Chain A
Amino acid sequence: MRHVRGFDVVRPLSIWMLIFMMMPLVFLPLASIFIFGTSSGLGNFWAALNAPEAIFALKLSMVTSFWATAFNVLFGLFAAYVLSRYNFLGRNALIVTISLPTAIPTAVAGFALLLLWGPYGTLGRLLRPQGIQIMFTASAIVLANIFVTFPLAFGVIKPVFDTMSRSLEEASATIGATRWQTFWHVTLPSLRGAIVSGALLTFARAVGEFGSTILVSGNLAGRTQTAPLYIFAKFNEGQIEAANAIAIVLALFSFLIFSVLFFARDWLDVD
């Protein structure tokens, strides 16, 4: 460290450099959403938000993301329990497989789902005669969301499971609790923080999902169009203001979720 009369020059320099580097990369793009979105007045912004298709898109995004989150948190909990408590042949292979979906391009994920569940897909063709159609419905969006956010909750919950002392569960068992009572009263409370952050992460990621959703949903306005798809569609139609209004909502929403994650993490883990 170089000091000029007791003053560390490197410190302010590096902090400002960091901010400067982030300017064009993060700050300015975010700022421009808000600047342009509100440039023609808050009234227009409000009107754009209140368009029925916009409201529908936001709602659909929330609902589908909710179900995907609910599923993945439960699944992640179960998978973390099994993979952290039992050692068996192929355990590591399973862990890798669960983590894989994050590494797969979302468009590939959507395409894969189409190949399986599409009207002529491996399973889809069996369902078609029963009159069941999964692709191009809200269910398809949930499936796509589940796929791309699959390992997120698991990834947050498993390390907590791994570090949790076995003696807590053993103590509970000797005191007289069944496995289920032990899980409910002892294990689960210790996982509370991990479950909430896992859920928030999954939800945030699901709300923003685009690549897989556009393939499996059919992108039908007012029917299977989620918020990100709405932004894309409106932009293509040249309705920048409409796109921008939703963009602001999504940006604020992510900002909110990550603030909660950041600031509430300690609180969630504290008794």
Chain B
Amino acid sequence: MKAQVARIMDSSITPPLPESMPQPAASIVGISKRFGKTSVLENISFDVAEGEALVLLGASGSGKTTILRIIAGLEQPYTGKIMLHGKEVTELPPRERGIGVIFQSYALFPKMTVEKNIGYGLRIRRRRRKEIKNTVNELLSLVQLEEHRKKYPSQLSGGQQQRVAIARTLAYKPEVLLFDEPFGALDAQTRVHLRREIRALLRKVNVPAIFITHDQEEALELGDRIAVINVGHIEQIGTPREVYNNPASEYVATFLGAANILEGTISRGHVVVGNAQMPARLLGDRFKEGQAVKLIFRPEDVLISKTQEFPTGHACLSSGVVEEISFVGAYERLRIRLEASSGACETSDTPFYLTTETPERSNAKPVICTRPKPETNAFRLRTGDRVFLGLSSFTVLPNDARTSATSQPIIKTSI
């Protein structure tokens, strides 16, 4: 059993890069963008290190594609600047930036064969024929399309076209690769397969890359770091682990994976949710006594027990009644309604209640938790069973205006 202590995170953004990093491959500094009077990006800043893969994750309309187009030079920012390897390129046209863009539609030239497509960047740079031929051959074998060299894009599958598009940009050795929803047009299986391939390929060629996606699974798998974008600003940047385990905002928590959110207050080093108390090592004066907070935890961080006793590293949250059990393949998903007055973890005079914005019942609400197979087999549960819930890990965020303004429904289950 993993013994993770509850952590407290404030909602500020984690610093982009450790200080030990040398000059970043790309720096985006204070970019903002307006279309007419509508502001679509506000003060976007981040760095991409040499060889790093950064994923910009956001819902459609969050502005992530605009960020990519600004880096590529296809759009002009309203403020801010773009640096590539220390050189400012904000005013340069796309062709002088040395970036490679892999478009969502691949944008392969339909009247050119695979090899002509790949060699295009070198042909327009007037390289020698022999050099072009060698590079094209190298890249064809890198993306494993040797036997398709004479084909036209329309004769290739989506995944093959994607690989041609990548080879075409690698040919002229771009400083940064930009992927715009690279797997959007592919079926689920190819998508998973291809993103692993691309990940491996990027490691091989060691070119820094920025990916755009709305797919959280893709983001977690592709990114060395993830920047979660919400309505034109960055909510959080960090490694997949950081962003997933320590979401800096309710938006991040719910957009990246599923999260249960309960409202509570701070009291003597504890988060008080109803009459349950979760011990939290409050860092300094991050939270004031009595401050309204949100307790956020992942479905998989819930441990279900018949008794109030939990192994070390777990804190008992409350008791509850199993409302629904669904089998989701790799694991079991349970909906458990927390009990209102009786059976909380510790006896207390305060009546158990949970404040919710959209209460299903005024004093009780369901949480979602998941259990892996071994646990399911060892400890069978049926609807109506009464259980205790323990948490191995949770996040506490201030319950301020901003988080509630952007908040999702209390329980968001994207599983």
A residues within 8 Å of B by Cβ? 165, 167-168, 170-178, 181, 185-186, 189-190, 192, 271
Contact = CB atoms under 8 A, between A and B. Distances in A.
A171 B95 contact: no
Contact of B74 (A170, A186, A189): A170
A186 B94 contact: no
Nearest 8 A/B pairs, CB to CB: A171-B107, A189-B111, A167-B107, A173-B94, A271-B152, A174-B101, A175-B121, A176-B95
Given A168-B109, A177-B124, 16 more contacts: A165-B107, A167-B103, A167-B105, A170-B72, A170-B74, A171-B109, A174-B72, A174-B74, A174-B94, A175-B121, A175-B168, A177-B95, A185-B120, A185-B124, A271-B110, A271-B154
Contacts of B168: 175
Contacts of B184: none
Interface residues of B, number: 31
B90 to A, nearest CB: 16
Interface in B89-133: 93-101, 103-105, 107-112, 120-121, 123-125
Interface in B349-388: none
Contacts of B152: 271
B169 interface: yes
Interface in B203-222: none
Nearest to B155: A271
B172 A171 contact: no
Contacts of B154: 271
Most buried by B among A177, A181, A190: A177
A185 B117 CA distance: 11
Contacts of B96: 176
Nearest to A171: B107
Contacts of B99: 174
B152 to A, nearest CB: 4
11 contacts: A168-B110, A172-B109, A174-B95, A174-B100, A175-B95, A175-B169, A176-B125, A178-B124, A189-B111, A189-B112, A271-B111
Contacts of A168: 107, 109-110
B73 interface: yes
B109 A185 contact: yes
Contacts of B123: 185
A223 B101 CA distance: 59
Interface in B40-63: none
Contacts of B73: 173-174
B167 to A, nearest CB: 12
